[in-house]
Amino acid sequence: MPAQSGEPLVVVDHVNKHFGELHVLKDITTTIHRGEVVVVIGPSGSGKSTLCRAINRLETIDDGTITIDGKLLPEEGSGLAKLRADVGMVFQSFNLFAHKTILENVTLGPRRVRKISKAEADKHAMELLDRVGIANQASKMPAQLSGGQQQRVAIARSLAMDPKIILLDEPTSALDPEMINEVLDVMVQLAKDGMTMLVVSHEMGFARKAADRVLFMADGEIVEEAEPEQFFTNPQSPRAQDFLSKIL
Q: Where on the chain is the footprint of ligand ADP (CB under 6 A)?
A: 19, 22, 24, 42, 44-50
Minimum Å gap between C-beta 58 and ligand ADP is 10
What CA–CA distance (Å, rounded) separates 16 from 56?
A: 15
Interstrand relation of 37-41 and 196-200 (parallel, antiparallel or unpaired): parallel
Query: Binding partner of residue 134 among Mg ion, ligand ADP, none, CB under 5 to 8 Å per kind?
Result: none
**Contact set with Mg ion (CB under 5 A):** 48-49
Total residues found in the chain within this entry? 248
Nearer to ligand ADP by Cβ, of 45 and 74: the residue is 45
Query: Binding partner of residue 17 among ligand ADP, Mg ion, none, CB under 5 to 8 Å per kind?
Result: none
Query: Binding partner of residue 235 among Mg ion, ligand ADP, none, CB under 5 to 8 Å per kind?
Result: none
What CA–CA distance (Å, rounded) separates 119 from 5?
A: 31
DSSP SS3 for 95: coil
What CA–CA distance (Å, rounded) separates 61 from 27?
A: 11
Nearer to ligand ADP by Cβ, of 37 and 215: the residue is 215
Minimum Å gap between C-beta 47 and ligand ADP is 4
Minimum Å gap between C-beta 49 and Mg ion is 3
Minimum Å gap between C-beta 10 and ligand ADP is 17
| Of 127, 176, 111, 118, nearest in space to 150 by CA | 176
Query: Binding partner of residue 81 among ligand ADP, Mg ion, none, CB under 5 to 8 Å per kind?
Result: none
Nearer to Mg ion by Cβ, of 49 and 151: the residue is 49
Nearer to Mg ion by Cβ, of 138 and 217: the residue is 217
Nearer to Mg ion by Cβ, of 58 and 116: the residue is 58
Terminal-to-terminal C-alpha distance of the chain: 44
Minimum Å gap between C-beta 135 and ligand ADP is 33
What CA–CA distance (Å, rounded) separates 173 from 100?
A: 24
**What DSSP element (H or E) covers 109?**
helix 102-109
Nearer to ligand ADP by Cβ, of 45 and 133: the residue is 45
Interstrand relation of 37-41 and 213-218 (parallel, antiparallel or unpaired): parallel
Torsion of Cα atoms, 139 then 143 then 147 then 152, to 10°: 30
